[in-house]
Structure 1
C-alpha cells in the first residue's frame, strides 16, 4: 500500500477529505492517505512541501503560486474550491477601530510572511487605495490562536482570516469584523510535490478521482449543514449561508486564472518575475 501525506487547514472546506478518509475509500485503491492539520496555514504548508514533510496540500491559490515561483518544487494538479474565499477583516473588540479605513498605516497581524493573511493584506490595501509601501506593516502571530490572544493585547491591529471560521469569535469572543475582502480568483487548489508526480502520478490521479466523487455530491449529503455546524462549532444559519456561496471543483486552473494571479503578485511586488505556466500547472 502506497503512503501519502496531505496537509490542509482544519476548516469546513476540507470536510470532504475527512469523509473519504474516515470511510477508508483510498484503501480500495491500495493507497494509505494520511491527513495533517496545518493551523499555521499556507506558509507553513509551503515549507512542509519544500522539506518533503508532506506530499500534497490543499492550499490557497495565491500562496502556492508565489512559492512555486520562488522555487517550491511542486505543481498545482487541480482546483479544490473554485469560489472566492471571503476574508474577514478583524480587530479586537476593545480596539478603537470601527472601519477598514481606520486601519490605514496600522499593523496587520499575519500568520507568517508568504501566508494568505500576508498576501491578502496587500490585496485589501490595494482595494482601499492605500500605499502598500507606507500604509502596510506586519506583526507575525503564527496562527488564528495567536491572533485571538494577541489582538486584545495590542499585538497587531487587525487580522484577516476566513470569515466563517472566525464568526464564533466575532459572536462570542475577542473579535469585531469591520470588513470583508474576497479573493479575486478560486481560493483553494491541490498541490503535489514534483517528485511524487513523477514517481506516483497514477496514485495521485486515483486520489483526485475519489475526492472529486465526494465533492460533486457534497451539498446533497443528508444533514450536511448540521454535521458542519456541530463539527466546526458554527451556527446552522452561518453554515447554510457558507454552503450557498461555496462551490467545489473537479478541474484545474485555467491559463487565464494563473496569469491573473501572477499579474497581481507582480503588481504588488510580491514576486520579482512571472514564470511559464507549465512550471505551475500539471
Structure 2
C-alpha cells in the first residue's frame, strides 16, 4: 500500500537544505509546501488543515501555542491550538539582522528605532515576536504603550520595499538572507544593516497537527539521514544553496560554519520550551502562565 505523503510546510531558505536531501536521497514521502512569508503563515495553514507538519521558528510556534487569540484574524482560539511541538531541527540560535532602506539617512543605529514603524511578515511570525525581544533588551517596554507600530508586509521582498518607500522604518530577518542586499547595486530594494540580535533559544523546531500521526516515525528517520548527509557533504550543500535558494556561494559557506543542526530530531526539550516562554513573557509577547509548557509538546525528548 502506497503511503500518503506528509504535507510539510517549510521556509524556502538555506535552513531547508537537509529537508531537501531527506526527500531527494532518502525517500522521504512528502509534499513540500513552501511558505516564504514564514512561521506565522504556517500556523494558519496548520489550523485550517492545509498541511500536516511544519518546520519553523521556535518563537513563532511557542507564541502561537500560548496566545488566546489568532494574531491574524483576532478570533478566539480553541483550547487545542491546532498543532503541537514534536521535534527539534536546529540547535544553534538565529542571528536576526536589523535592516532599513539604504536611502534612510534618518536611521543609523538601533537607538533610532524606538517608537518607529516595524515591518513584519505576519502577526505572530518571528519577525514580529523578535521586535518585542529587541524592545525588552533595550528597555523600551512601557506599560500600556507599544514600542513600535506594526506593519504586516508578508514577504522578505515586500519588507525590503517597505523600508525603501517608508511604509516601515525597519524590519528583522535572518542575517545571511539579508546580507546580499546590503549593497547599493543589489536589486530590487537594497537595504542597510543597523544592528543584529540573536535568539536566546535553539532557533528551529518541528510541529505536527497530530502528534500521533503514524507517518512521523519515518519522517524523523529520513530527516536525520538528510541532516547527516548535509553535514558530510558541505560542498554539495553550499552548491545547492547558492544555485537554488538565492544566496551567494561565499555566504552559503560562511553560514555553514555557524549553523548546528540537531542530532536526533524526534522530540522536544521541556527545558527549552519553558526557557523560551520565560523570555517571551518578559518581553510582553505572552501572558504569564503556570506550568508553561504543559499542553504544548506532543513528543517529549529524553533529557
Answer whether TM exceeds 0.5 for this pair. Answer: yes
Note the 1:116-195 alignment, pairs <5 A: 116-131=126-141, 133-171=145-183, 172-173=186-187, 174-194=190-210
Deviation, 1:159, is 0.7
Instruction: Please list every run of 5 or more consecutive structure 1 residues that lacks an aligned counterpart in the other structure.
Output: 27-31
In structure 1, the partner of 2:230 is: 218
In structure 2, the partner of 1:237 is: 250
Alignment partner of 2:141: what SS?
coil
In structure 2, the partner of 1:269 is: 284
CA contact (8 A) 2:118 2:170 kept: yes
1:247 and 1:221 map into 2 onto residues whose CA distance is 14
2:234 and 2:278 map into 1 onto residues whose CA distance is 41
Deviation, 1:134, is 4.5
Deviations 1:224-250 (A, max 9, x none): 223322222322222222111101112
Deviation, 1:17, is 1.2
Aligned length: 273
Deviation, 1:36, is 0.5
Alignment partner of 1:123: what SS?
helix
1:9 aligns with 2:11: yes
* TM-score, with length taken from structure 1: 0.91
1:54 aligns with 2:51: yes
1:257 and 1:93 map into 2 onto residues whose CA distance is 37
Deviation, 1:115, is 0.7
Q: 1:170 to 1:157 in 2, by over 3 A?
A: same
1:247 aligns with 2:247: no
CA contact (8 A) 1:46 1:72 kept: no
2:179 and 2:247 map into 1 onto residues whose CA distance is 8
Report which stretch shifted further, 160-169 or 125-134: 125-134
Deviations 1:104-129 (A, max 9, x none): 11111011111100000011111222
Report which stretch shifted further, 131-140 or 184-193: 131-140
1:140 and 1:185 map into 2 onto residues whose CA distance is 24
Q: What is the RMSD of the two structures over their aligned residues, measured on CA atoms?
A: 1.7
Report which stretch shifted further, 266-275 or 70-79: 266-275
Note the 1:94-133 alignment, pairs <5 A: 94-96=103-105, 97-131=107-141, 133=145
Note the 1:64-79 alignment, pairs <5 A: 64-70=61-67, 71-79=80-88
CA contact (8 A) 1:79 1:190 kept: yes
* TM-score, with length taken from structure 2: 0.85
Q: 1:248 to 1:263 in 2, by over 3 A?
A: same
CA contact (8 A) 1:216 1:248 kept: no
Deviation, 1:254, is 2.1
2:60 and 2:146 map into 1 onto residues whose CA distance is 23
Deviations 1:207-231 (A, max 9, x none): 0111112213412215222332222
In structure 2, the partner of 1:204 is: 216
1:152 and 1:217 map into 2 onto residues whose CA distance is 40
